[in-house]
Amino acid sequence: MTTATRNPLSYLHNQIEDLKAKGLHFRLRVLETEQRPVASFDGKEVINLSSNNYLGLTTHRGLRKAALEAIRKWGVGSGAVRTIAGTMQIHMELEEQIARFKNTEACVVFQSGFTANAGTVAAILGKDDLIISDELNHASIIDGCRLSKATIRIFKHKDVADGERICKETENWAGRKLLITDGVFSMDGDIAPLPQLCDLAEKYNCIMMVDDAHASGVLGRGGRGTVDHLGCHGRVDIQVGTLSKAIGAMGGYVCGSRELIDWLYHRGRPFLFSTSHPPSITATCQAAFALLDSPEGERLIKKLWANTKFFKRRLKQLGFSTGASETPITPIHVGEAAKAFEFSRRLFEAGVYAPAVGYPTVAEGKARLRAIVTATHKRAELECAAQILAEVGKSLGIV
Ligand SMILES: *Cc1c(COP(=O)(O)O)cnc(C)c1O
């Protein structure tokens, strides 16, 4: 066989054909404008309910200025991993700023929320250890758990009694134990029962870890997350957050004790083996955290919640089910994946972008649209989106 015809990846063709047959195949939508509440994708201007840009910071004037100044002062890249030559002064300053913000001893910034979760769990546990994890935890937690080679036990979503059942069964576990949950669940928008999970962690001597990717900049005073919102300061050993959602740029961070952070400097593999953020990203994040604690930040968070309440109320009035959501993440339940994708496609044609999510992101039979409200949506835009949702929903027999 000649090299021109050799294709050891030919099985992918059949797998993709299978996705197409099931109506689950997608093309990437390409954003042609800035990430804003009304944006143009694939040549079409739509009301954009698809981003995690909760506070509209992706295009914030002050943050742009901070990024540009950092480029002028320090260049476009850091040139190395953190442990060699890639730790710049602004990296240290940002970490100190986040630690103060979160009221913890120390903080380390990773390249993304994904690497923060995966790198941390894999660094602190090994094969003799045990992880007790909510069934709807984010993929980056799941991957971190697998990388650690620890034993993984899954409790039913937000079910503290089921968590306790596992804690009791493993009471005499010889290794270390980690209890881990998302603060806000990314596909359902519901909030973890954090105080009760902290009770469990304390009673059964587990390390307590929370991933607050969707809570940072959204819940708690100044957007300090679920630990602040639910009054759990001092009870959570490891807090993860993202810089890619409400903060508007890119990155992830871990807050906790000085020793935890020191250990992650030595054993967090993405920290050790992948280059640190360019100065522009770091400076953007510094400006964003300063903004969260300013009157402008307070105003944006208030607006985010007012918009969230308005949009959810309208969807309910129009007959949609938004499930258990308690946050700006607004799932619109459909059920069958092919129907959810069709709903999303027709909505887009009608001028609203709300992506469909199906298996493997959510369980089979639980497909939905996932709409996210931001602080920078205008009331009229949300009302228009609700009307279009109702029209298209009716045409598909969803409402
Ligand atoms: C988005 C998300 C992450 C990943 O964050 P990135 O900074 O985008 O890598 C981690 N955990 C949860 C719960 C998320 O929703």
Annotated active-site residue 186? The verdict is yes
CA-nearest residue for atom 12, ligand 1, is 213
Write out the two tokens for 240: 């993860």
pLDDT of residue 359: 82
Peptide bond into 360 cis (omega under 30): yes
The β-bridge partners of 241 are 253
Residue from 280, 248, 250, 238 nearest 113 by CA: 250
**Ligand 1 center from residue 121 Cα (angstroms):** 14
Superfamily of domain 22-51+295-395: Aspartate Aminotransferase, domain 1 (3.90.1150.10)
Write out the two tokens for 128: 């003799």
Cα angle for residues 94, 98, 103 (degrees, 5° grid): 150
Predicted model pTM: 0.96
Relative to beta strand 252-256, strand 367-372 is unpaired
Given the residues 60, 245, 312, 366, the one annotated as active site: 245
**Going edge to edge, which strands form the sheet with 356-357?**
329-335, 367-372, 356-357
Annotated active-site residue 13? The verdict is no
Q: Which atom of ligand 1 is nearest to the CA of 137?
A: 13
State how far the alpha carbon of 239 is from the alpha carbons of 98, 164, 336, 392, 397, in Å: 11, 21, 35, 41, 43
User: Helix (H, G, I), strand (E, B), or coil: what is residue 317?
Assistant: helix
Annotated active-site residue 277? The verdict is no
Q: Which atom of ligand 1 is nearest to the CA of 242?
A: 7
Q: For residues 320 and 399, is the Cβ–Cβ distance under 8 A?
A: yes
Domain residue ranges in the chain: 22-51+295-395, 60-292
Residue from 254, 238, 243, 239 nearest 278 by CA: 243
Residue from 48, 16, 126, 55 nearest 292 by CA: 55
The β-bridge partners of 184 are 191
Other beta carbons within 10 angstroms of residue 11's beta carbon come to 9
Counting Cα atoms < 13 Å in the Cβ hemisphere of 325 gives 30
**Ligand 1 center from residue 251 Cα (angstroms):** 9
Residues with CB under 6 A from ligand 1: 112-114, 117, 138, 140, 182, 186, 211, 213-214, 242, 244, 252
CATH class of the domain whose range is 60-292: alpha beta
CA-nearest residue for atom 2, ligand 1, is 213
Relative to beta strand 207-211, strand 367-372 is unpaired
d(CA 48, CA 330) in angstroms, rounded, equals 13
Same fold, 22-51+295-395 and 60-292: no
pLDDT of residue 3: 63
User: What are φ and ψ of residue 230, in 5° steps?
Assistant: -105, 15
Mutational pocket test of ligand 1: of 186, 243, 284, the residue with most ligand atoms within 8 Å of the beta carbon: 186
Residues with pLDDT less than 50, the chain: none
How far is the first Cα of the chain from the last one, in angstroms, to the nearest whole number? 56
